[in-house]
């Protein structure tokens, strides 16, 4: 019995990608531990979402990480401008404004993912109701113009 026939075709590339991501994280810890420390704390909610999101493509985690990463730009820039030292990284972690901004941006990304489908459905439903009303009006006008009896509404 071949062992490979039982496995899905996507198992091999996925393991390779995880291995490369681990290698990149290890390289960041070795080469720039201060930056990695600051990024892990600021992107904490996104990393947690990445571990918990089991949907294909991880849309919730991607949105949270994207919004959180946008809020991490200034603290990382400040770390690099301050000499890229452990003291500067710890000072950046002690800045509750930066931490609050990054975590609030991550919460905004989560809220966006949760509310966007609801808002989209509400807009599409309103558009459909307006179109139905226009079509009913047009149907009544055509029935009057052609001398048909008024159609029964469904």
- Tell me: the pLDDT tens digits for 1-58? 455 555 555 555 567 777 787 888 788 778 788 888 999 999 999 999 988 988 888 8
pTM of the model: 0.68
Burial of 123 (0-12, 13-18, 19+ CB in 10 A): exposed
Cα 140–Cα 143–Cα 145 angle in degrees, nearest 5:
110
- Tell me: the pLDDT tens digits for 69-91? 999 999 999 998 988 888 888 88
pLDDT score of 1: 47
Give the separation between CA 6 and CA 27, rounded to whole angstroms.
Answer: 34
């Amino acid at each position: 019995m071949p062992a490979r026939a039982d496995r899905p075709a996507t198992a091999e590339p996925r393991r390779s990608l995880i291995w490369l991501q681990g290698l990149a994280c290890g390289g960041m810890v070795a080469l720039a531990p201060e930056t990695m420390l600051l990024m892990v704390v600021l992107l904490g909610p996104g990393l947690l979402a990445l571990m918990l999101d089991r949907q294909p493509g991880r849309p919730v985690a991607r949105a949270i990480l994207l919004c959180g990463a946008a809020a991490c730009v200034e603290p990382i820039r400040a770390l690099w401008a301050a000499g890229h030292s452990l003291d500067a990284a710890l000072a950046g972690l002690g800045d509750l404004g930066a931490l609050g901004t990054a975590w609030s941006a991550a919460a905004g990304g989560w809220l966006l993912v949760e509310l966007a489908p609801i808002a989209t459905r509400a807009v599409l439903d309103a558009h459909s109701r307006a179109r139905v009303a226009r079509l009913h009006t047009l149907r009544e006008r055509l029935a009057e113009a052609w001398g048909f009896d008024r159609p029964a509404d469904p």
